[in-house]
Amino acid sequence: MSTRSSTLSTAESRRPLVAEAALTEFSRGGFHGTTVARVARTAKISPAYVFKLFPSKESLFVAALEACFTEILGALEHGADGAPEQKPQPILDAMGGAYAELIADRRLLMLQAHAQSVADIPEVGDALRAGLKSITTFAKSRSRGSDDAVQNFVAYGQLCHLLVAARIDEQKAPWAEILSHGIRHPN
């Protein structure tokens, strides 16, 4: 009688590494500007092996997006755990601070922006909505905040995306100060 090994197969152990390479490459070039061959080079495997792990470019992009949202949820959880008070607004504020720290890594920010730009691709749109659902659901359940408070949290997150992506914090003009008033991001 043989026992099944608990060791992951090579393919199973490679999937997260390839998804991470995909996150990096798709965040740079977007869906249309990134080839599977480029992801394969970054992952140090052949394009054929990428297709063995992910049957389409869409599924590879979705894996990268899922990895992105996993990182975001981890940061939000860490922020919530470190809130000065376990009340709705301090928890949401702490999660927002943790997210601001996280998107200093522009890969996560840019991958989300690229996903929004190709959300009409069914698999990508589904994954984007699933990620937003997970963030919204987590923020609601963890903070126990009102629907309005959670909506405000997500809205500020989107404003943070705009501020960081467009480097608005580098602009010394009244319009930029209005948009970034009260919002600080780590350099």
pLDDT exceeding 70 applies to what percent of the chain? 93
Structural domain includes residue 70: yes
For the cut 90, the answer to whether the pLDDT of residue 35 exceeds it is yes
Residue 26 inside a domain? The answer is no
DSSP assignment string, 92-158: HHHHHHHHHHHTTSHHHHHHHHHHHHTTTSHHHHHHHHHHHHHHHHHHHHHH---HHHHHHHHHHHH
Looking at the whole model, is its pTM more than 0.85? yes
**pLDDT value, residue 186:** 57
> Which pLDDT belongs to residue 54?
96
Domain containing 108 equals: 62-180
Q: Is the dihedral of CA 34, 40, 42, 43 positive or negative?
A: positive
- Residue 10 falls within a domain, yes or no? no
Tell me the average pLDDT across 139-165: 92
Whether 143 and 80 have beta carbons less than 8 Å apart is answered as yes
Query: Residue 187: pLDDT above 90?
Result: no
Whether residue 102 lies inside any domain: the answer is: yes
State residue 129 phi and psi, 5-degree precision: -65, -40
Secondary-structure breakdown of the chain: helix, strand, coil percentages, each rounded to the nearest 5:
75, 0, 25
Q: Looking at the domain assignment, is residue 8 inside a domain? A: no
In a domain, 75, yes or no: yes
* 173 lies in some domain: yes
Mean pLDDT over the full length of the chain: 91
Average pLDDT over residues 110-132: 97
Examine the pLDDT at 1 and tell me if it is beyond 70: no
Q: Which residues contact 12 (CB under 8 A, 6 or more apart)?
A: none
Determine the pLDDT at residue 169: 80
Q: Residue 182: its pLDDT value, please?
A: 80
Total domain count, the chain: 1
- Is residue 23, in this structure, part of any structural domain at all? no
Mean pLDDT of 21-45: 97
Per-residue model confidence (pLDDT) at position 104: 80
Note the pLDDT tens digit of each residue in 51-92: 999 999 999 999 999 999 999 999 999 999 999 999 999 999
Q: Using CA atoms, how far apart are residues 44 and 65, in angstroms rounded to an integer?
A: 20
